[in-house]
Amino acid sequence: MKLLNISEYYNFSGLRRRLAGTTLLFWLLTSVSCLLLLISCAAPKLAEKPSHRGTSLNDALSQYRKISSISTVVGLDYEKNDVIMSGDASLSVSPDKLSLRIYYLGFLQGEVYEENGKIKSKPKLDKNKSLILVEGLKSSLFWWNITDYTVTETADAYELRNGYRRVVVNKESLLPVEQTIELENGDTIAISYDTPSRIISEDGKETLDNSPLSWYQSRVRIQLKNYIVRINVKSYSLTR
């Protein structure tokens, strides 16, 4: 049997330690890789969706009509002829009033106020911009303020219609999915909705109440001719 001298012994011992360390590192890396693989393969959590099948349309509309005002903070994209301007906005709406303040990089860029049909703005807006911002925003949020309407049903939706307005409401969520408004000059405002979200209370928690008033559509698209406004709601609160 060969005897190792001191130099050979320490070289051999160091090799054993390096091999042991390499093996341990290998198993650690393998374990981490397997854990990451399991996490990536896990089924994603599905977004919660409102379900109000047990609530009639009339009951839901009665609840919505108790709302006196809505306040929101939104991301806003304004598009005309493929040119897009983006910013943030604070919006407060009631059936007879609207207040809109538009910001870019934190600086106030424009204001629009409406009360009982009278519109004031800084800077001054042309007729189409005023219509899409005032009539479009108010009607998109207070979509239930439709009068003298008839109701027809499909398998998935209710359709509320009068002489100049049409609102389609999803039966499951009791939220609007689309709306059209015919103006006196023959033009049409088209509104579409997407992405239901729960209202977040002041303490940052989702409301536990599962009534229709606990939900809103967080993405809205409004179009009038070649003018388009896209809204991404960041916060939403209502007053009854």
Give the number of domains in the chain. 2
Question: For residue 48, is it within any domain?
Answer: no
Q: Are residues 24 and 127 in the same domain?
A: no
Beta-carbon count within 10 A of 158 CB: 19
Q: Quote the tokens at residue 97.
A: 């009033």
Question: For residue 49, is it within any domain?
Answer: no
What gap in Å lies between CA 140 and CA 152, rounded to an integer? 20
- On average, the pLDDT of the chain sits at 84
Q: In 3D, which of 178, 181, 183, 174 has the Cα closest to residue 214?
A: 174
Q: In 3D, which of 140, 149, 135, 134 has the Cα closest to residue 183?
A: 135
pLDDT of residue 10: 40
Q: Are residues 95 and 153 in the same domain?
A: yes
Beta-carbon count within 10 A of 23 CB: 10
Question: For residue 82, is it within any domain?
Answer: yes
Comparison of pLDDT for 220 and 81, the residue scoring more? 220
151 CB-near residues (< 8 Å, 6+ apart): 57, 158, 159, 160
Q: Are residues 115 and 200 in the same domain?
A: yes
Q: In 3D, which of 187, 193, 195, 194 has the Cα closest to residue 227?
A: 187
Sheet strands side by side (includes 83-94): 118-122, 107-115, 97-104, 83-94, 69-80, 227-239, 215-224, 188-198, 176-182, 165-170, 157-161, 150-153
pLDDT digits over 173-185, tens only? 999 999 999 999 9
pLDDT of residue 164: 97
The answer to whether the CB of 199 falls within 8 A of the CB of 233 is: no
Binned at pLDDT 50, 70 and 90, residue 35 comes out as low
Question: For residue 92, is it within any domain?
Answer: yes
pLDDT digits over 101-151, tens only? 999 989 999 999 999 989 999 999 888 888 999 999 999 999 999 999 999
Question: For residue 75, is it within any domain?
Answer: yes
Binned at pLDDT 50, 70 and 90, residue 48 comes out as confident
Helix extents (H) in 81-190: 127-130, 136-141
Q: Are residues 192 and 97 in the same domain?
A: yes
Q: Which residue has the tokens 């009982």?
A: 116
Residue 239 has pLDDT above 80, yes or no: yes
Question: For residue 85, is it within any domain?
Answer: yes
Pairs from 162-165 (Cβ < 8 Å, separation ≥ 24): 165/139
The answer to whether the CB of 204 falls within 8 A of the CB of 44 is: no
Q: Are residues 235 and 130 in the same domain?
A: yes
Domain of residue 216: give its range: 57-239
Q: Are residues 137 and 225 in the same domain?
A: yes
Mean pLDDT along residues 202-213: 69
Report the share of the chain in percent with pLDDT over 90.
64
> CA-CA distances (angstroms) from residue 96 to 60, 68, 124, 155, 231?
22, 10, 21, 34, 21
Residue 6 has pLDDT above 50, yes or no: no
Question: For residue 80, is it within any domain?
Answer: yes
Q: Are residues 98 and 14 in the same domain?
A: no
201 CB-near residues (< 8 Å, 6+ apart): 207
pLDDT digits over 215-236, tens only? 999 999 999 999 999 999 999 9
Question: For residue 88, is it within any domain?
Answer: yes
What gap in Å lies between CA 21 and CA 36, rounded to an integer? 23
The helix (run of H) or strand (run of E) holding residue 19 is helix 6-41
Rg of the chain, C-alpha, whole Å: 29
Q: Which residue has the tokens 């341990």?
A: 24
Report the share of the chain in percent with pLDDT over 70.
77
Q: Model's pTM, two decimal places?
A: 0.78
CATH number, domain with residue 204: 2.50.20.10
